[in-house]
Chain A
Amino acid sequence: MLSTGELKKQAAKIRATCVQMAFDARESHLSSALSCTDLLAVLYGGFLRGTAEKSNLGRDRFIMSKGHGCSALYAAMAAYDIISPSLLKEYSRTDGALPNHPCRHALKELEISSGSLGHGLGIAAGMLYGMRLSGNTDSRAVVLMSDGECNEGSVWEAAMFAAAQKFGNLLAVIDHNGSQAVGTCSVIMGDTSLEEKFRSFGWHAVTIRGNDIAAVKTAFEQLPAGNNKPAAVIAKTIPGSGVSFMEKNIEWFYRSPSAEDLKNALAEIGAEPLG
């Protein structure tokens, strides 16, 4: 695992790249991309093992189930040399490798496509079953999800199944930014605790500050090893995190930055975009 300082630098690079990509492609979803940049920075910064090598059967499987935040995924993959930074200019381009929802047919480095919510966790559990049949109980499956995604019933079908199968090597990271497409999660689906929900489904669950690199790093490092419960890290994050005028403003779920927005955002982030 990289040091906290190094991880912070990587997170800043990923953030800056997200804003640049959204500007270049006239795309949106920055709220959701920026809220999970710190999580991705730490996951790829040493937590995930062998993820870059698709031919390595012993790799950890990483699934970006919240596909709408994929500019952060692409930027993180570039920041950690899983894809070439030169590929970033293909974001959202017709026939490019980086469509505006991840597609495995376009980018072979992905475990699965995403864009429709509520699938990643269940598919990860299926992958773990397959790995176990193949005698691989060391690899982990890590799924980055959104809190709005947890509205989907299929998430809870997967949660039941994973607990029943005792998949201790399954980790769900919930980007709990409190915001979904048309409002606030707690208003739409009730002001209840995701941590308690997962725990009552038989999971190990913790809630952390998800835009605090040190806290994220510690949480991942301190996950219980060798037990047979799947784990959920509920990461409380800020939509649009890292760019003050984008934070907690649902507009940035839909808006693309102007040239001035880009300039101001990059100045605030204090890092150069990749690519």
Chain B
Amino acid sequence: MRRAFSDTLLKIAEKNDKIVFLTGDLGYKVFDDFIAKFPGRYINTGVAEAQLINTAVGLALEGYRPIAYSIAPFATARPFEQIRFGVAYHKLPVMIVGAGGGFTYAKSGVTHHAPDDLALLGILPDMTIVSPGGPDELRMLMPELLKLKGPSYLRVGKYGEPELNHPSPVELGKGRCLRAGKRIAIITSGDIVCDIYPKMNIFLSAGLDPALYHFHTIKPVDRSIFPEIEKNCSTAVIVEESIPQGGIYREICEWKAETNSKLKILRSGAPDAFILGSPSREELRTRLGLTAAALKDLCLQEFRIAK
């Protein structure tokens, strides 16, 4: 997905001379093509995330379309005040890019984990939040984000995620039904869908027939899909690398509370705890139940109870 990001950036910048790319001293060799082509429109503000965002704010005030890039916790939690004050309060078209959101950098430890990026930026008014599933979604959604009049956050994964390759349309602000099913709906946001979607057979072999919905746009969320889910399913299982205060879980809980929906909502996500140590992302996903096998067990358990 990282490659899809740098390729898309280059393509968009070729067409739009207002695009300026800023980094907080990260992205070694990732943006060499961009730098070679547009040296003036590449700014390394140094290990200074407040200045990363404030430079972007100043550029946006002068009519530019800045894209501010860093590793997710340093693009969100670290300069949160600058984003809240400069970007959100002024309603500026600044795109913030968090590379390695969620637990992409699981092994690097707590400082590099960002299960809270969606929650943090999600509380800011008018912030559009996108966490693409695969590189194909990123390529389709990033140009749309850069057409917005207001701020946006794009969570970008790592290198090498597979393409999602699903025929349903990819539209900003629209959820996707990747598989119709009965009783249980699995709902994903972000790149975890690339791990779940190809493994739907695990559910089928266990006698389950779950629906699979994917939301690349977290905010504004596509609420029109929730009643559809409720119509066909009694239980929704949200799976995402996010704390419950953000992501699709928060959105669907809010909807449930507002509509008195009877849909039962389960969650596999980040706990209310720092993850210590140096687990690999795969180890961590297994530990937190963020795998197709763990979800299958959760669904079976739910199915038995529901019966």
Residues of A near any B CB (own CB < 8 A):
104, 111-113, 116, 118-119, 122-131, 133-134, 153-154, 157-158, 160-161, 164
User: B160 contacts the other chain (Cβ, under 8 Å)?
Assistant: no
CB-defined contacts of B55 to chain A, threshold 8 Å: 122, 125-126, 129, 161
The answer on a CB contact under 8 Å between A157 and B90 is no
B163 at the interface (CB under 8 A from A): no
CA distance A161 to B55 in the complex (A): 9
Q: Is there contact, CB below 8 Å, between B41 and A122?
A: no
Q: Which residues of B contact A (CB under 8 A)?
A: 20, 40-41, 43, 45-46, 48, 50-51, 54-64, 66, 81-82, 85-86, 89-90
Which of B46, B56, B58, B61 has a CB less than 8 Å from the CB of A160?
A: B46
Contacts of B64 in A (CB 8 A): 130, 133
Q: Give chain A's interface secondary structure class.
A: helix
CB of B126 to closest CB in A, whole Å: 12
Are the C-beta atoms of B62 and A134 separated by less than 8 Å? yes
Q: Across the interface, do B59 and A122 meet the contact criterion of CB distance under 8 Å?
A: no
Q: Which residues of B contact A124 (CB under 8 A)?
A: 58
Q: 9 A–B contact pairs at CB < 8 A?
A: A104-B90, A119-B86, A126-B58, A130-B20, A130-B62, A131-B62, A133-B40, A154-B82, A161-B51
Interface contacts (Cβ under 8 Å), in number, total 92
Contact assessment for B45 and A161 in the assembled complex, using a CB-CB cutoff below 8 Å: yes
Which of B43, B50, B62, B90 is A122 in contact with, Cβ under 8 Å?
Answer: B50
Q: Is the CB of A127 within 8 A of B50?
A: no
Chain B, residue nearest A116 (CB): B85
Distance of A118 Cα from B59 Cα, bound (Å): 17
Which residues of chain B have C-beta atoms less than 8 A from A160's C-beta? Answer: 46, 48, 51
Contact status A119-B43, CB under 8 Å = no
Q: Contacts of B90 on A, CB cut-off 8 Å?
A: 104, 112-113
Residue in chain B with minimal CB distance to A155 = B50
Q: Are A111 and B61 in contact (CB under 8 A)?
A: yes
Q: A157, B56: Cβ atoms under 8 Å?
A: no
Which residues of the partner chain A approach B50 to less than 8 Å between Cβ atoms?
A: 118, 122, 153-154, 157-158
Q: Nearest Cβ distance between residue A242 and chain B, in whole angstroms?
A: 31
Extra contacts, 6 of them, besides A112-B61, A124-B58, A161-B55 (Cβ < 8 A), are: A125-B58, A126-B60, A129-B59, A130-B59, A158-B50, A158-B54
A123 CA to B66 CA in the complex, in Å? 13
Contact A125 B51 (CB under 8 A): yes
Bound Cα distance A164, B44 (Å): 11
Q: Which of A113, A122, A129, A134 contacts B89 (CB 8 A)?
A: A113
Given A126, A134, A157, which contacts B57 in the complex, CB threshold below 8 Å? A126
Complex-state Cα separation, A133 to B62, whole angstroms: 10
Hey, which chain A residues are within 8 Å of B48, CB to CB?
A: 157, 160-161
Chain B's nearest CB lies how many Å from the CB of A162?
9
Q: In the bound complex, what is the Cα–Cα distance between A133 and B19 (angstroms)?
A: 11
Q: Across the two chains, which residue of chain A brings its CB closest to B53?
A: A122
Instruction: Contacts A104-B90, A116-B81, A154-B82 given; indicate if A128 touches B51 (C-beta within 8 A).
Output: no
Contact A126 B56 (CB under 8 A): yes
Chain B residues within 8 Å of A116, by CB: 81, 85
Across-interface contacts of B62 in A (CB, < 8 A): 126-127, 130-131, 133-134
Q: Is the CB of A122 within 8 A of B58?
A: yes
Q: Bound state CA distance, A86 and B46, in angstroms?
A: 46
Chain A nearest CB from B20 CB (Å) reads 7
CB distance from A64 to the nearest CB of B (A): 14
Known: A160-B46, A161-B45. A127 touches B82 (CB 8 A): no
Q: Could you tell me the distance between the alpha carbons of A128 and B86 in the complex, rounded to whole angstroms?
A: 16
Centre residue among B56, B62, B63, B66 by max chain A CB count within 10 A: B62
Note all chain B residues with C-beta closer than 8 A to A126: 54-62, 66
Chain A residue with the shortest CB-CB distance to B81: A116
- Within the assembled complex, what's the spacing in Å between the Cα atoms of A127 and B55? 7
In the complex, A141 Cα to B85 Cα: how many Å?
A: 20
List of 5 A-B pairs having minimum Cβ-Cβ separation, nearest first? A126-B58, A130-B62, A122-B54, A154-B50, A126-B55
Closest chain-A Cβ to B26's Cβ sits at a distance in Å of 16
Distance (whole angstroms) from the CB of B75 to the closest CB of chain A: 15
Alpha-carbon distance between A124 and B55 when the two chains are bound, in angstroms: 8
List the B side residues contacting A153 at CB < 8 Å. 50
Note all chain B residues with C-beta closer than 8 A to A113: 85, 89-90
- Cβ contact within 8 Å between B51 and A158: yes
- Measured between beta carbons, the chain A residues less than 8 angstroms from B57 are 112, 119, 122-123, 126
Given contacts A113-B89, A153-B50, A157-B51, contact A123 B81 (CB under 8 A): no
